Amino acid sequence: MALYLDSANLDDVRRAQDLGFIAGVTTNPTLIARTGRNGLDVLGDLVDMVEGHIFYQVTGRTVEERFDQAWEAHRLRPDKVIIKIAATTENLALARRVVMAGIEVTITAVASPAQAYLAAQVGASFVAPYVSRLTRDLGDGLAIVRDMASILAGTPTEIVAASLKSVDEVVGATLAGAHHLTLPLALIEAMGEHELSRQAIAEFDASLKHA
Phi, psi of 147 (to 5 degrees): -65, -40
Taking only the tens place, the pLDDT of each residue in 59-101 is: 999 999 999 999 999 999 999 999 999 999 999 999 999 999 9
Q: Tell me the residue range of the domain where 41 lies.
A: 3-209
State the chain's mean pLDDT as an integer. Answer: 96
pLDDT at position 200:
87
pLDDT at position 124:
98
Taking only the tens place, the pLDDT of each residue in 17-30 is: 999 999 999 999 99
Domain CATH number, residue 16: 3.20.20.70
How far apart (Å, rounded) are the C-alpha atoms in residues 136 and 147?
17
* H/E segment holding residue 167: helix 167-175
Average pLDDT over residues 7-23: 96
The pLDDT-based confidence of 207 (bands split at 50, 70, 90) is confident
pLDDT at position 204:
81
Domain count, the chain: 1
The distance from CA 150 to its chain's CA centroid, rounded to whole angstroms, is: 20
User: CA separation (Å) from 194 to 19, 73, 207?
Assistant: 18, 40, 20
CB atoms under 10 Å from CB of 49, counted, come to 13
How far apart (Å, rounded) are the C-alpha atoms in residues 204 and 15?
28
Average pLDDT over residues 107-117: 98
Residues assigned a catalytic role: 84
Taking only the tens place, the pLDDT of each residue in 174-194 is: 999 999 999 999 999 999 989
pLDDT at position 211:
60
Taking only the tens place, the pLDDT of each residue in 119-170 is: 999 999 999 999 999 999 999 999 999 999 999 999 999 999 999 999 999 9
Instruction: Indicate whether 210 pLDDT > 70.
Output: no
